[in-house]
């Protein structure tokens, strides 16, 4: 029988909700919380619990997964007026899943450490479908001792757990490198598909060729298929890669690195957000570049 222990998840949107559903169906009975109460309640169908007082549930749990959007929300969940950190017992594990800057990760881990609370940095990649089936990537940075305690949970969440290092912040560095490449690939895919459209090519046929040829990328195929079909319901909001590529450029600047593509891709996402596409799927870049 697999090992389980009490777990909380705070933030059950697309990714957090998929993770909670997976844990629930694996018998973990995670206690879940979201600012949108109905999201938490809907996960009870999958075996999750939706307590009114998540702070009390966290106190009684071994680990709390934070799955919100950014550093400001993470800090609010932990240290804000209703933050859970003051009540967490020494030895409690906070699993940080948002994509935030390495400096923010280090600062949050330091503040938790002063309270005797452990940090596992575990940014994720792959989208809600892969989070649901356990095939998303987790980029884990924490001490070996904490990793050993948390490994049953991490293994339940994903079959692709990458042990990055013992230095918190390295998970964020790895995720930002990955997401900058994802952003570059997506902008490139949208650009060439917009070009194909201008040339009068059939977009589905063109993408068929690309998927079996040297131009293939997972994110390009995934997003462009949906965009061609006119499906812009957000699996990943445009704002996310706008945020993440911006964070990646900031991280690059902090180590004195300037590349030829990353900043250009980041600017495209920023322009799309300013054009009113923030709440659409990031595949909406195709339409944005077809009709600039």
- Catalytic residue positions, numbered: 175
Instruction: Compute φ and ψ for 18, nearest 5 degrees.
Output: -65, -40
Instruction: Compute φ and ψ for 240, nearest 5 degrees.
Output: -70, -50
Show Cβ contacts of residue 277 under 8 Å, excluding neighbours closer than 6 positions. 238, 284, 288
Rounded Cα–Cα distance for residues 73 and 104 (Å): 12
- First-to-last alpha carbon distance for the chain, in angstroms, is 56
Task: Give exposure, 148-175, as e/b (b: 16+ Cβ within 10 Å).
Answer: ebbebbbebbbeebeebeebbbbbbbbb
DSSP letter, residue 261? S
């Amino acid at each position: 029988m697999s090992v389980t222990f009490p777990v909380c998840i705070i933030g059950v949107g697309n990714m957090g909700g998929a993770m909670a559903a997976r844990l629930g169906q694996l018998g973990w009975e995670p206690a879940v919380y979201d600012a949108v109460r109905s999201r938490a309640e809907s996960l009870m169908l999958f075996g999750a619990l939706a307590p009114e007082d998540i702070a009390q549930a966290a106190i009684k749990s071994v680990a709390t997964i934070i799955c919100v959007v950014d550093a400001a929300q993470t800090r609010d969940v932990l240290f804000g007026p209703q933050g859970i950190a003051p009540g967490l017992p020494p030895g409690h594990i906070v699993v940080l899943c948002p994509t935030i800057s390495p400096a923010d990760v280090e600062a949050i881990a330091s503040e938790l450490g002063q309270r005797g609370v452990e940090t596992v940095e575990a940014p994720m990649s792959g989208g809600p479908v892969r989070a649901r089936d356990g095939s998303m990537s987790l980029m884990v940075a924490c001490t070996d001792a904490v990793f050993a305690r948390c490994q049953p949970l991490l293994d339940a969440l994903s079959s692709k757990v990458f042990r990055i290092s013992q230095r918190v912040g390295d998970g964020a560095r790895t995720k930002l490198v990955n997401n900058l490449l994802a952003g570059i690939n997506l902008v490139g895919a949208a650009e060439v598909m917009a070009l194909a459209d201008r040339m009068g090519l059939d977009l589905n046929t063109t993408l068929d060729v690309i998927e079996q040829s040297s131009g293939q990328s997972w994110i390009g195929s995934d997003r462009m298929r949906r965009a061609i079909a006119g499906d812009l319901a957000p699996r990943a909001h445009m704002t996310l890669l706008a945020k993440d590529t911006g964070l990646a450029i900031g991280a690059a600047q902090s180590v004195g690195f300037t590349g030829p593509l990353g900043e250009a891709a980041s600017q495209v996402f920023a322009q799309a957000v300013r054009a009113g596409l923030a709440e659409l799927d990031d595949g909406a870049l195709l339409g944005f570049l077809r009709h600039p």
